[in-house]
Structure 1
């Protein structure tokens, strides 16, 4: 289950993926670098190690990926093996399309690098589906425990299904794959630092509290939403229970903010809170630098795009999307459909907002790999840091909500 030489080269070249999800998704045209909020530019430079001079080039690459990605998938058909944005050795950015065939049908697409790999996306999806099926068919008290198996995902960059494990849990991973019947040649193992932990501890990213036996449980607001005339906000499902009152303000002077109206977790990690009529909703996200960022829509960003998250514990942090449709084990629970990132986060950030450079809302913070004894994963190296969020659009669809934009 080791990487091929070409896959290893691809992994090295893609250690730093693309940086900004910054194209006009309505018109399809790229927008100027100076149209990005300067505070967001500074946050991206701080967390991603980029320069202002690189901005126009990766914006151009991002726009190209949105135009050519679907075309490449149609052209390659069953040989399509995924696409991503990656940083090259010279610091520039490029859009890569992988194929399990010759790739001839896609080589005429302008600005696209076509790379040949072993497995098609369909083959990787079949291996992923086998792992999912094995988990769904497990019987409590009868099936062998998954032990140190943390998560599994499709990774087009390495052309594999990646199974993430606790240190020393290789045997658990081997058993997991073997029992599933998945193609072992399509699977790669990686070792995590820490274990997935729920980060529980009305502007996006702001704090709210709900009462539990031992006191108050803090989480973060996702995005303001409406359902008809009803006001509310979305957040993580593990942050509350239906009917629980949500509070805002200091513990010494708490004010009722609303009530958990719907909660779905585990499996997914979504919830929405009905906000009391006297409160005002804003279609903005807190940047924890005395500023607010406008929410423009909820167009889903691709793998490799940059985005930032806002939360009450670690503030405003940025990074990139590593993978989508990731399945993650948290204790005895399993979460599916998660998006994996390298963004730093901590306990209490749960439910907080994720936003791209052009103001597209992406999701709410769910869980992250946190070192034992730590309250956040900000001390973990970016290359091994993992934080997952629940995508936003499935929340809006499930509950029939409308995102409030600015």
Structure 2
């Protein structure tokens, strides 16, 4: 469904995301008055609570919903919509509506075009609800000829996509928090889980194959065996504990304490998150995109990832992404490091748990 282009003016809130859109034809003063009235009904929410409300509104609004994000500055859920009727439903639910141009169907179509015409190693794309576009990123390995192809495809998508460059190189962070070892390689444990009443843990799929044995030190005694591993496409694996290895439901914070993990949840753009890994320990950042597709090269393409501003380095793979006591993701890969920064992508925990028939515990 096509929609009339809406002229709009953006107001930026320091420390947060784009906060408001002013529809053409309404005076600035009246728009401010409307925003003030609207703000009175907006619920103050934690990021996990905002994610729960977002899922509910998505189900209720259907095609009229065009993405959501969490405004950390105001602690509110912002919901992109394409009609005033949908905007009113959002207000009544306690969230803040934002009229946008591109529907989710149009953005999904843009992603499909990128898949068909611009599947190039060293690229990623993710739906960004703040810009209401698909953000395409090319790393430093993308050649000039490949970049020209990418630019042509993105230009053809008009206002549905934008292209960015990364100074780093997209790659899985191979080679939770605590270190786990197998065959000379090192990754990080994600979260302890329970499957069929038995203790297991989840980590990144690219860390190893089914049947591989894992220990807590290089060459040490095995603490478990990998029973399932999925990569590429997905990036998660399940390891069954053996013996009496302790398996508390917590994440190592590397300061002598741990964060208890009581549940799993979905990421929301704007959510503040932390990552724990055996190379760089604990770092924090923000969720910047959802449903990201990343082409690591050599045919290794992973879909449905969480894009963040959290840094990571080799050996952090499989480590925990969490928000308070909520498990959010498993470290997959990205570009950069914890000195220069970069983008890092995470496999959603909820998908891994659903696939394995496991639960946090």
TM range (shorter): 0.7 to 0.9
Query: Helix, strand or coil: the match of 1:105?
Result: helix
Residue 75 of structure 1: how far off its partner (Å): 6.2
Measured against aligned partners, the alpha-carbon deviations of 1:245-277 in whole angstroms (never above 9, x if no partner) come to: 21223x4x7221111211111111111112112
Aligned-residue RMSD, C-alpha: 3.2
Gaps of 5+ in 1: 19-56, 136-144, 371-376
> What corresponds to 2:229 in structure 1?
263
Note if 1:245 corresponds to 2:213. Answer: yes
Check whether the contact 1:58–1:92 (CA below 8 A) recurs between aligned residues. Answer: no
Residue 193 of structure 1: how far off its partner (Å): 2.1
Distance 1:237 1:151, change over 3 A: same
Higher strand fraction (1 or 2): 2
> What corresponds to 1:185 in structure 2?
159
User: What is the TM-score with the length of structure 1 in the denominator?
Assistant: 0.72
> What corresponds to 1:335 in structure 2?
302
Residue 403 of structure 1: how far off its partner (Å): 2.1
For residues 62-211 of structure 1, what are the structure 2 equivalents within 5 Å? 62=47, 65-66=50-51, 68-70=53-55, 72-73=57-58, 76-87=61-72, 92-102=74-84, 104-106=87-89, 108-109=91-92, 112-134=95-117, 146=120, 149-167=122-140, 172-173=146-147, 175-176=149-150, 183-201=157-175, 204-211=176-183
Check whether the contact 1:349–1:365 (CA below 8 A) recurs between aligned residues. Answer: yes
Check whether the contact 2:63–2:105 (CA below 8 A) recurs between aligned residues. Answer: yes
Cα distance between partner residues in 2 of 1:63 and 1:283: 19
> What corresponds to 1:234 in structure 2?
202
Residue 192 of structure 1: how far off its partner (Å): 1.0
Query: Helix, strand or coil: the match of 2:200?
Result: strand
Cα distance between partner residues in 2 of 1:166 and 1:8: 31
> What corresponds to 2:339 in structure 1?
379
Cα distance between partner residues in 2 of 1:330 and 1:161: 19
Distance 1:230 1:177, change over 3 A: farther
Residue 236 of structure 1: how far off its partner (Å): 0.4
Cα distance between partner residues in 2 of 1:68 and 1:392: 19
Query: Helix, strand or coil: the match of 1:129?
Result: helix
Q: Between Structure 1 and Structure 2, how many residues are aligned?
A: 331
Check whether the contact 2:44–2:75 (CA below 8 A) recurs between aligned residues. Answer: no
Check whether the contact 1:75–1:105 (CA below 8 A) recurs between aligned residues. Answer: no
Gaps of 5+ in 2: 19-41
